[in-house]
Amino acid sequence: MLTPADDYLLHQTPYPIDTVYTTDRNFYDRYFFNGYRRDGEVYFAFAMGQYQNMGVFDAAFSIVYQGRQKQVRASRRMGADRMDARVGPIRVEIVEPLRKVRVVIEPNEHGVSGDLLFEARSLPNEEPHFNRRGMMTMDYTRMTQHGSWSGTLTFEGTTFNLGDSTWWGSRDHSWGIRGVGGRDLRGAPPTAIPQFFWTWAPLNFDKICTLFTASELSDGTRWHQSGVILTPYPDATETECAIDHDLSFQKGTRWIDKATLTLTPHSGEPLEITVQPLYHFLMQGIGYGHPKWGHGMWVGEDVVGGDEYVTKEANPMENLHVQTVSLVRAGAHEGIGIFEHIIMGPHQRYGFREMLDPAR
Tens-digit pLDDT profile for residues 328-358: 999 999 999 999 999 999 999 999 999 999 9
Average pLDDT of 120-149?
A: 91
CATH architecture of 25-180+193-350: Beta Barrel (2.40)
The radius of gyration of the chain from alpha carbons, rounded to an integer in Å, stands at 20
What is the structure's pLDDT at 179? 81
pLDDT in tens, 273-284: 999 999 999 999
Instruction: Check whether the bond before 4 is cis (ω within 30° of 0).
Output: no
Query: Which is it for strands 256-265 and 322-330: parallel, antiparallel or unpaired?
Result: unpaired
- Band the pLDDT of 182: cuts 50, 70, 90: low
What is the structure's pLDDT at 132? 86
CA distance 207 to 24: 42
- The CA-based angle 33-206-269, given to 5 degrees, is 105
- Band the pLDDT of 133: cuts 50, 70, 90: confident
Instruction: Check whether the bond before 14 is cis (ω within 30° of 0).
Output: no
What is the structure's pLDDT at 192? 66
What is the structure's pLDDT at 180? 72
Q: Is the pLDDT of residue 193 over 90?
A: no
What residues does 249 pair with on adjacent strands?
256
> 3-class SS at 164?
helix
**Side chain identity at 241, as an amino acid letter?**
C
Q: Is the pLDDT of residue 186 over 80?
A: no
CA distance 360 to 358: 6
Q: What is the dihedral of CA 274, 280, 285, 290, to 10 degrees?
A: 90
Q: Is the pLDDT of residue 190 over 80?
A: no
> 3-class SS at 317?
helix
CA distance 2 to 206: 46
